[in-house]
Amino acid sequence: MESYVVHTNYDEYAIFLTQKFSRHHGPTITAQLYGKGLLLDVPTGVKGREPQLRESLLQDFRVVAQGVGIPEDSIFTMADRGT
């Protein structure tokens, strides 16, 4: 497994890519958006305390995720349930 920070502004968020290798399933790429009190994880979605992310940040994340081959229909934003 390899993980990389591919984009960050250090004060607000960081976008990570993780590539896993499996003999049975081949390579898998996961994109994650970490920010103050939040986690946006493809394909599992947003988890955290911040109810709103600025739309331009979500769009940047979508561009990065799609750029590594993650389709738009695999990018989810889930409601915070106060976990």
Q: What is the pLDDT of residues 30-59, one digit of tens each?
A: 888 877 765 555 554 555 445 466 788 889
Judging by DSSP bridges, how do beta strands 38-41 and 2-8 pair with one another? unpaired
Q: Is the peptide bond before 43 cis (omega within 30 degrees of 0)?
A: yes
54 is written with which tokens? 């600025």
**Taking 80 as the threshold, does the pLDDT of residue 5 lie above it?**
yes
Neighbours of 36 (CB within 10 A): 10
Q: What is the pLDDT of residues 11-29, one digit of tens each?
A: 788 889 999 988 888 888 8
Written as one string, the DSSP assignment of 14-52 is EEEEEEEEETTTEEEEEEEEEETTEEEETTTEEEES-S-
**The pLDDT value given to residue 35:** 74
Q: Are the CB atoms for 82 and 47 separated by under 8 Å?
A: no
pTM flag (> 0.85): no
- Which band of pLDDT confidence, cut at 50, 70 and 90, is reported for residue 66? very high
**The pLDDT value given to residue 83:** 53
